Amino acid sequence: PAEGETLCRVALMDYGVKANMIRCLQNRGCEVTVFPARTPAEAVLSGGFDGVMLSNGPGDPKDCKGIIREIAKLYDYGMPTFAICLGHQLMALSQGGDTERMKYGHRGANHPVKFLEEDRSYISSQNHGYMVKAEGLPRNAEVNCVNVNDGTVEGVVYHGKPVFTVQFHPEASPGPHDTSFLFDKFIRMIEKEELQ
């Protein structure tokens, strides 16, 4: 984008957001408004936003029952959504999926993630102790990324809705930048260039 040009307005739900997530969006011409975790969906839907990001954050996603209900409303409305880490888990729960605690979790900046459609792996940064279970996801949810080391779910595309989610951190800083292209995918989705 040209200097000072705004391509789209993004609502970022803060469940423990990292500053580089905001920078990744701003560097792509997005005007970013950060909302507290428990903000009602209506506040986002009435704000004239083009898309929403669900951030990373700590803890057991099942403890976030009120937040999960609000995410379900955003999903039903069809707001273009990109969710990362905890946001990825919350989206799955909002659609009737399930999560479980991992024995050890994934920690570090060198986790290989395979994008199934491309049959290609990328190095990712990860820091989570819970995971989305492939079993129980809705029929329109396709697991499109898996962890090369243990086969766990690393990404989900929700067909029929402009929604995709990842377990890893494409905004890692410091860390690998292999998957930063996902922010570009989000912008294209908002611009209706890339529908699921």
For the beta carbon of residue 126, count every other beta carbon within 10 angstroms: 20
Contact of 50 with 32, CB cutoff 8 Å: no
In one-letter notation, the amino acid at residue 137 is L
Is the four-CA dihedral 77, 83, 87, 88 of positive or negative sign?
Answer: positive
CA dihedral 169, 173, 178, 181 (to 10 degrees): 70
User: Which positions are annotated as active-site residues?
Assistant: 85, 169, 171
Query: For residues 17 and 58, what is the distance between their CA atoms, to the nearest angstrom?
Result: 10
